[in-house]
């Protein structure tokens, strides 16, 4: 029966982890998958999470199913974290949130909802983007188009190219934006550029879909929501897919949410009913643990403060490493200018290294970087930065 089944290619990012694990070189360096690591190379469980888990374990009374849309307290806390409690979107009750298995689950629920309720819609995504974006939305049955994002000459945003392409989008088309910390480039629009993007969305009546997987990893919790809040103008409709994998370190607990902002409360209620229909035929209802942890932390003043401190620590370490990396690169006599790395936001850096250089780093030095040249900055430490720079010098000269 399975004779005709061919072997599928490995995931372009997660596949590298496996190759790394099998590499016997004791000096190997893994800068591939976007997982935060501390100075010792460990992906820690946050202290606020451990404390919340202790409380949950003591207070848990049932393992009965959650509602299809998940925990109401969690969904509420997610919305407030994105918009702030007094935002018009919240007070007008025109936003509905469903708890999902990770940000990936949120993206798939969004994709299925769009395919059902906006038949024939085209989704525009940045070129480049996270490779799972096209996979998820193609699987959901959407048509895809791309807009330029990265300007190779400046190592910055190709803003004119982006807006120019989106001028070609039709009414009701979906435009996928990274809320902050763009994956893979690390390049985000400035507040002024967000204004222009929001103007264009409004003028052309597009449906913005924000992938918000790194809130707090760029400049701060509120700062990273600037774009999202700019887009959420009075009456504007939008979809947001949240992930708490990174900012809570809850990767394997699968904690995410999909929020739909409708024009008014009645339409939001109808959208929620459609989202529940999509979920019912997909995974039925979400798992409770990770979302209960996030809800407990976000709604308790002490735990919330602990979380914000831990998140600040992760962000500061990444930014410190960016500086260390750039300093070390120039100190070791590499000709190429890598100073742009310090302007990039979040966990990733688009290094400018090409596929050949990436392949050589792996084969000669056991340094693992994604084929696009994307580096997980959090994988760099005082202990491996010199060897990394030595490798980059070798492949760039
Ligand atoms: N969106 C982007 C841009 C990501 O980088 C990730 C990372 O994994 C996700 C969504 C999905 O996150 P999750 O692990 O919560 O599914
Ligand atoms: O881009 C990354 O590295 C993270 C983690 O299929 C990830 O978003 C990578 C690939 C994948 C799922 C998650």
Residue from 18, 43, 107, 132 to probe ligand 2 pocket by mutation (most atoms less than 8 Å from CB): 132
- Structural domains for the chain: 14-45+308-396 (3.90.1150.10), 65-299 (3.40.640.10)
323 among known catalytic residues: no
Average pLDDT for 111-133: 96
Q: What backbone phi and psi angles, to 5 degrees, belong to 281? A: -90, 10
Catalytic residue, chosen from 69, 112, 158, 211, is: 211
Identify the CA nearest to 251 among candidates 213, 302, 296: 213
- Name all residues whose Cβ lies below 6 A of ligand 1: 34, 102-104, 130, 178, 183, 211, 213, 243, 245, 256
Predicted confidence at residue 334, as pLDDT, reads 87
Predicted confidence at residue 76, as pLDDT, reads 98
Question: Helix 102-117 vs helix 132-139: angle between axes, to the nearest 10 degrees?
Answer: 40
Asked whether this complex has an ipTM greater than 0.90, the answer is yes
Identify the CA nearest to 390 among candidates 343, 342, 325, 340: 325
Residue 38 pLDDT > 90: yes
Predicted confidence at residue 336, as pLDDT, reads 82
Residues 175-232: pLDDT tens digits? Answer: 999 999 999 999 999 999 999 999 999 999 999 999 999 999 999 999 999 999 999 9
Average pLDDT for 69-82: 98
Q: How far is the CA of 103 from the centre of ligand 1 (A)?
A: 5
Residues 50-64: pLDDT tens digits? Answer: 999 999 999 999 999
Ligand 1 atom nearest to 211, measured from its CA: 1
246 among known catalytic residues: yes
Q: How far is the CA of 183 from the centre of ligand 2 (A)?
A: 9
Percent of the chain scored above 90 by pLDDT? Answer: 94
Predicted confidence at residue 112, as pLDDT, reads 98
Q: What backbone phi and psi angles, to 5 degrees, belong to 351? A: -80, -20
> Other CB atoms closer than 10 Å to residue 63's CB: what's the count?
6
Residues 310-362: pLDDT tens digits? Answer: 999 999 999 999 999 999 999 988 888 888 999 999 999 998 899 999 999 99
Identify the CA nearest to 70 among candidates 278, 279, 217, 241: 279
Residue 77 pLDDT > 90: yes
28 among known catalytic residues: no
């Amino acid at each position: 029966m399975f004779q005709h089944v061919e072997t599928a290619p490995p995931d372009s990012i997660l596949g590298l982890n496996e190759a790394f694990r099998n590499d016997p070189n004791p000096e190997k360096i893994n800068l591939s998958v976007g997982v935060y690591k501390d100075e010792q190379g460990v992906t820690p469980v946050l202290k606020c999470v451990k404390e919340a888990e202790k409380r949950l374990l003591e207070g848990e009374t049932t393992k009965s199913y959650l509602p299809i849309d998940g925990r109401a307290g969690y969904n509420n806390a997610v919305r407030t974290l994105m918009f702030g409690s007094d935002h018009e979107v919240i007070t007008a009750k025109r936003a509905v949130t469903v708890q999902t298995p990770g940000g990936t689950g949120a993206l798939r629920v969004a994709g299925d909802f769009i395919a059902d309720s906006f038949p024939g819609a085209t989704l525009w995504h940045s070129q480049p983007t996270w490779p799972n974006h096209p996979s998820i939305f193609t699987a959901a049955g959407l048509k895809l188009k791309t807009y330029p994002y990265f300007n190779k000459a400046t190592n910055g945003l190709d803003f004119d190219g982006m807006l120019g392409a989106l001028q070609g989008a039709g009414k009701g088309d979906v435009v996928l934006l990274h809320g902050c910390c763009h994956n893979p480039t690390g390049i985000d629009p400035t507040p002024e550029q967000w204004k222009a993007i929001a103007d264009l969305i409004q003028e052309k009546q597009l449906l913005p879909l924000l992938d918000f997987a790194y809130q707090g990893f760029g400049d701060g919790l509120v700062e990273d929501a600037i774009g999202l809040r700019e887009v959420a103008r009075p009456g504007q409709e939008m979809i947001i897919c949240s992930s708490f994998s990174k900012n809570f370190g809850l990767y394997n607990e699968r904690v995410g949410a999909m929020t739909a902002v409708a024009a008014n409360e009645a339409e939001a209620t109808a959208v929620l009913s459609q989202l529940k229909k999509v979920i019912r035929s997909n995974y039925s209802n979400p798992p409770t643990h990770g979302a209960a942890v996030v809800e407990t932390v976000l709604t308790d003043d002490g735990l919330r403060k602990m979380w914000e401190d831990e998140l600040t620590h992760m962000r500061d370490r990444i930014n410190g490493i960016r500086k260390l990396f750039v300093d070390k690169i120039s100190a070791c006599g590499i000709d190429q200018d890598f100073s742009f790395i310090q302007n990039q936001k979040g966990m990733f850096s688009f290094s400018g290294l090409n596929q050949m250089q990436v392949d050589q780093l792996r084969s000669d030095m056991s340094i693992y970087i994604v084929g696009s040249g994307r580096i997980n900055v959090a994988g760099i430490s005082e202990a491996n930065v010199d060897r990394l720079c030595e490798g980059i010098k070798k492949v760039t000269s």
